[in-house]
Amino acid sequence: MTADPWANLKQFTDARIGLGRSGSGMPTHEVLDFALSHAMARDAVTTPIDWTPIEKGLADLGLPTLRIGSAANDRAEYLRRPDLGRKLSDHSREALMRAAEMEDGKPDLVVLVGDGLSSMAVAANTIAYMAALLPHVVKAGWKMSPILLADDARVALGDEAGEILGGKAVLVLIGERPGLSSPDSLGVYITFSPRVGIKDADRNCISNVRQRGLSYDEGAFKTAWLLREAFRRGLTGVNLKDESQFLIEGHKGPELIG
């Protein structure tokens, strides 16, 4: 094996540099390391989610849950038919309609947790993120629907669910497409006035929430900031820029009314 004398440059990047080579090929341990990363990412996509521990963790936070599913029948169909992942199953639509009738008043916030493209991300991050978000919700006095736990979900599934429940905004936590070095990245999407057919440009997104990415506290802080601004200005999307870093870093930013 031929080593690369610049391998100390690895300190500046997570890119796979300075690997050395075996002839024209990668060294054995690098090939196998890559294969393991890919296997974990594949497992994150294909493994069906187990909601039971998530239900329990959310119950411990005092948050009731409701299981729903998209119109996709299984993971294979989910991957081929993104349109089905954006639609509720008939059964789930009826369940949400019943839930809406039983609710006393409309919620400010509908929260939907969807498996998306990484069940690993949802399993690893949902409870910790919700625990970080909850104090902001309580402080703001936002009324929250039961947490919806959705199988085979795309982001837009929250639009239909949020519309049925009459939420002012919908918050979708969803497993992001796994990267080789980040199979467990959770995405958070905030959409004001959710309804079927809304455009992606009308959402805000906080990406890469995970233990080795954006911290739960920071993710929750940004979420609460965006929600406050969304309720104040009556919109989300490209016209609502995330300026919460001015608050976090203590810099003087544009004048914000909380």
Partner 1 sequence: MYRVHAGGTTYTFSSLKELLAKATPPRSGDVLAGVAAKSAAENVAAKMALADVPLKKFLNEAVVPYEDDDVTRLIVDTHDGAAFAPVSHMTVGEFRDWLLSEKATPEKVSALAPGLTPEMVAAVSKIMRNQDLVLGAKKAHVITKFRDTIGLPGHMSVRLQPNHPTDDKKGIAASMVDGLMYGCGDAVIGINPASDNIGAITDLLVMMDDVIRRFEIPTQSCVLTHVTTTIDAIAKGAPVDLVFQSIGGTQGVNDSFGVKLSHLQEGREAALSLKRGTVGDNCMYFETGQGSALSADAHHGCDQQTLEARAYAVARQFKPLLVNTVVGFIGPEYLYNGKEIIRAGLEDHFCGKLLGLPMGCDICYTNHAEADQDDMDILLMMLGAAGVTFIMGIPGADDIMLNYQSTSFHDALYVREALGLKRAPEFDAWLTKIGVTDAKGHLAPHRPGNPLLTHAQALAA
Q: Which residues bind partner 1 (CB under 8 A)?
A: 2, 4-6, 8-19, 21, 23-26, 30, 34-35, 37-38, 41-42, 44-45, 79-83, 117, 177-183
Of residues 2 and 52, the one with the C-beta less far from partner 1? 2
**Closest distance to partner 1 from the beta carbon of 13 (Å):** 4
**Closest distance to partner 1 from the beta carbon of 30 (Å):** 7
Would you say 95 and 164 are in contact if contact means Cβ atoms under 8 Å apart?
A: no
**Closest distance to partner 1 from the beta carbon of 184 (Å):** 12
**Closest distance to partner 1 from the beta carbon of 50 (Å):** 20
Rg (CA), the chain: 20
131-168 residues labelled b (16+ CB within 10 A) or e (exposed): bbbbebbeeeebebbbbbbbbbbbbbbbbbbbbbbebb
Of residues 15 and 102, the one with the C-beta less far from partner 1? 15
Q: Which residue matches tokens 């992001």?
A: 176
Of residues 58 and 159, the one with the C-beta less far from partner 1? 159
Residues sharing a CB contact under 8 Å with residue 223, sequence separation 6 or more, in sequence order: 133, 136, 171, 188, 190, 206
Of residues 86 and 168, the one with the C-beta less far from partner 1? 86
Residues sharing a CB contact under 8 Å with residue 238, sequence separation 6 or more, in sequence order: 201, 202
**Closest distance to partner 1 from the beta carbon of 44 (Å):** 8
Of residues 16 and 67, the one with the C-beta less far from partner 1? 16
